[in-house]
Structure 1
Amino acid sequence: MAEEVATPPRKFAWLSRNTVLLALASLFADISTEMLYPILPVFLTQTLHASGSVVGLVDGIAQASQNIVQGFSGWLSDRQQRRKPIALAGYLLAALAKPVIGLAASWPTVLGARFFDRIGAGFRSAPRDALLASSVSEAHRGKAFGLEGFGDNLGAFVGPLLAVLLMSALAVEIRWIFYIAFVPGLLAFLMVLLVRERPATAVAAKARIDVGLKQFPKAYWAYLLATALFGIGNSSNAFLILRTQEIGASLVTTTLIYAGFNLVAALISYPAGFLSDRFGRKGVLLLSFGVFLVAYVGFALAGSIQLIALLFVFYGLYQGMFRAVGKAFASDFVPEQLRASGIGWYSATVGLLELVASIVAGLLWDHVGHAAVFLYGAVFAVVGAGALLVLVPGGIGGRGTRPPPNSPEAR
């Protein structure tokens, strides 16, 4: 009888149908969203003749709505033990809302459509991430989130460039950009439609009657606290754009710099996830905090467009690492039946603290000085890194996986 030869594991065995489809969904969804990012303020102020305060109101309500709903959608997904239908509803709602903005005759219609757009974006996020986490083993989770982050950030790179191309080279009227944005949004919906969701196990089904904040282990709450302390200083990227224009960059130059930032974030996402699988999430996340610290100090001191552009590229490293590894780390601390809730409340924490940080940054920008915004962020980068290092279990080289269910740390 011939001796059986063991088949060596394939290098990309983790690269499943679901991981590819979800990465493509993020790519198309972000192309759809970021096509509108640079033109929405122009549409409001020049086409609809709204004031600057209306621009702030529309964006503030939209972002806050997206952040708040993420925790709820994660809870609902775990409660029902269904990921795909909830994610699909979010993708479809976000896609349908974009052409409504183009049809608007006044800013309240834009506010309503933008509100539903961001509700859809927030509603899909946690169930999608839970689908992604369950599609691979824990040992490959960082790579899966890195690939999804690559798709997301690549979409953020392509979207603004596509909008500029359509308006400048093809002379497409601004309202038509909102109509065209529906197409990649619909493609994102179709990608998720093709995802195969595993049926809930008997253990996971228990979550339908037992999903609550008390079910999360202490290690998860420690991680959320460290994330919140860092997030208090992590304000909107709009202040980086304002700083770039303050130095003297034109709108076109600023847009290109911003697109380059998203490209770097896309390129680093997968390597960051791979490194977190190989050497540990905590160490890579600490590195991202360090990159953020250096970049923010640089933005406070920079005095030339060239240096600002270099700092934006450097800051892209932080963006790609933090997005890919942060969610993977959050999913490590919770059992599968609570995964959508765990990622959802993590994302809500990041988003809500960014809103707080942006309010504080606005006050500092107006009343203290522009450099104060970035020095303030740098201080809390140090505080957040210290909290992550001291409070969150697991060594710098460990993934920080959740403790056994009956251990003291889990209770």
Structure 2
Amino acid sequence: MYLADRSAPAGAKGAPDRGPARTPAVASAVLALGTVSLITDISSEMVTAVLPLYLVAGLGLSPLGFGALDGVYNGVSALVQLTGGHLADRVRNHKLIAGIGYGLSALCKPLLLLAHSLGPVGVVLALERTGKGLRTAPRDALISLSTPAGLQGRAFGVHRAMDTTGALLGPLAAFLILSVAVDGYDAVFGVSACVAVLGVVVLVLFVPGTSGPSGPAGSARPAGPPVPADTAPAAPAVGVREALALLRLPRLRALAGCAALLGLTTVSDAFVYLLLQRRTGIAEQWFPLLPLGTAAVFLLLAVPAGALADRIGRRTVFLAGHALLLTGYGLLLWAPGRPALPFLVLALHGMFYAATDGVLPAAVGAIVPRELRATGLALVGTGQALARFGCSLAFGAAWTFWGTGPALCAAAAGLLCSAAVAACVLRPAHPPHPTQSPRGTR
């Protein structure tokens, strides 16, 4: 995808060199990382698609037990994000730390073949999520550092669309394997391990490494020959003190606080699918296909939503996504359990992710210095993921003791109040000039 460069005047016919006519709207690094994420997500979503039924129906876990395990599955990743982001900035090699994370996740997939009770499964999932936590911030930093500020939403949208293609293919692969294999769950875990190794190979071979950061926050490195390492200006050392100093940025504090507040009322995807199954009576063999609805809508809208956020403001799109999620909660609570209900809820679920998943890191990238980009992304991502960890535990407990109706009512009321607070806190300090490219969470 390219955007025409209209800044240069048109030259006369026969001019020897008219300069570059087109500038790539999406860097090659973004496309390479998108390919890695596509392959890795096929592997991860194969497991995620069957995990709720495997644990609840196969191992007999209660909703509270599943909520605890789902919290571990996501909470461990959140805690490790800070380590991954800080290490990537400290060693100034985002690809190395991301590669370690992808490799660790790939190594853990075969261990699911040996785990048949809550304890071992929890340990394996915690290790796998450790790998995800290590790679998330360095990967997003690679995307942000290779993209101009005015196109960050589009770049993250392209990456998330490719990532979601994997999320679309993963459950489909799991469904096909379960329908033909005798030991369906073990076959899913084995194939998932092989696909994860392929993702690591693509990362090593095709994703470019990073050099020292330079330039203002959100800017792209100018075109031209690379600066030799021995003549490039040395970047300041990145330590814990520099990382903590990021919290002095008012916009980053506001963004991190609002992301965490909204995360406290964002029910886990697995619970949404389980609620849909119980409301509509979907047969167990069709359950792995439910994430396909979310993934398909996310895939279609990720790039348009990112481009829209670049144009009208990331704050607006981010909050609109949570309003769509609130509508989905309302349908799960009060709409009749008719055949159209799953399609409506899954469509709203996918629209929510399209409007938030790539828009949030794009907003962070616009306000954090280059040399601390991975750390800033990790700070916001960790707060949001820990909040969702708490929501998984609370919703599982509420479902166990009170039932699905009161639990989802509480989540919907909390999301409504949190979105109102976020709208006030994230309001723009100054109205942007009409010709300015949007930045941050306007």
Identify which of 306, 316, 319 aligns with 1:273. 306
The CA deviation at 1:113 is 2.2
Report what 2:365 is aligned to: 331
TM-score of the aligned structures, taking structure 1 as reference length:
0.88
Report what 2:282 is aligned to: 249
CA distance in 2, matches of 1:328, 1:165: 36
Task: After superposing the two structures, state which structure 1 stretch, 131-140 or 389-398, moved more.
Answer: 389-398
The CA deviation at 1:21 is 0.8
CA contact (8 A) 2:94 2:138 kept: yes
The CA deviation at 1:309 is 2.6
Q: 1:242 to 1:141 in 2, by over 3 A?
A: same
Aligned residue identity for 1:335: P
Identify which of 222, 231, 243 aligns with 1:212. 243
Aligned residue identity for 2:172: L
The CA deviation at 1:156 is 1.6
Q: 1:44 to 1:187 in 2, by over 3 A?
A: same
Task: After superposing the two structures, state which structure 1 stretch, 351-360 or 245-254, moved more.
Answer: 245-254
Task: After superposing the two structures, state which structure 1 stretch, 384-393 or 351-360, moved more.
Answer: 384-393
| Structure (1 or 2) with the greater helix fraction | 1
Q: 1:145 to 1:41 in 2, by over 3 A?
A: same
CA contact (8 A) 2:328 2:348 kept: yes
The CA deviation at 1:317 is 0.5
Aligned residue identity for 2:169: V
Gaps of 5+ in 2: 1-10, 214-232
Q: 1:237 to 1:306 in 2, by over 3 A?
A: same
The CA deviation at 1:2 is 6.3
CA distance in 2, matches of 1:46, 1:392: 43
- Give the alignment's Cα RMSD to 1 decimal: 2.8
1:312-357 deviation per Cα after TM superposition (whole angstroms, max 9, x unaligned): 2122101122101111112222111111111111111111111112
CA contact (8 A) 2:310 2:439 kept: no
Report what 1:406 is aligned to: none
The CA deviation at 1:168 is 0.7
Task: After superposing the two structures, state which structure 1 stretch, 261-270 or 100-109, moved more.
Answer: 100-109
Report what 1:191 is aligned to: 202
TM-score of the aligned structures, taking structure 2 as reference length:
0.82
The CA deviation at 1:218 is 1.1
Report what 1:316 is aligned to: 350
CA distance in 2, matches of 1:226, 1:250: 38
CA contact (8 A) 1:14 1:140 kept: yes
Write out aligned runs for 1:247-396 (5 A).
247=279, 248-304=281-337, 305-392=339-426, 394=428
Aligned residue identity for 1:174: Y
Aligned residue identity for 1:84: K
Q: 1:82 to 1:211 in 2, by over 3 A?
A: farther
CA distance in 2, matches of 1:287, 1:36: 30
Task: After superposing the two structures, state which structure 1 stretch, 26-35 or 256-265, moved more.
Answer: 256-265
Task: After superposing the two structures, state which structure 1 stretch, 357-366 or 293-302, moved more.
Answer: 357-366
Identify which of 261, 267, 270 aligns with 1:229. 261
CA distance in 2, matches of 1:39, 1:242: 12
Task: After superposing the two structures, state which structure 1 stretch, 68-77 or 85-94, moved more.
Answer: 68-77
Aligned residue identity for 2:135: R
The CA deviation at 1:176 is 2.7
Secondary structure of 2:237 counterpart: helix
The CA deviation at 1:393 is 5.2
Secondary structure of 1:206 counterpart: coil
How many equivalent pairs are there?
401
1:9-65 deviation per Cα after TM superposition (whole angstroms, max 9, x unaligned): 53x712222111111111111111111123335555777x56547655543323221
The CA deviation at 1:245 is 1.9
Q: 1:74 to 1:244 in 2, by over 3 A?
A: same
Identify which of 25, 30, 36 aligns with 1:19. 30
CA distance in 1, matches of 2:362, 2:139: 13
CA contact (8 A) 1:231 1:380 kept: no
Task: After superposing the two structures, state which structure 1 stretch, 244-253 or 229-238, moved more.
Answer: 244-253
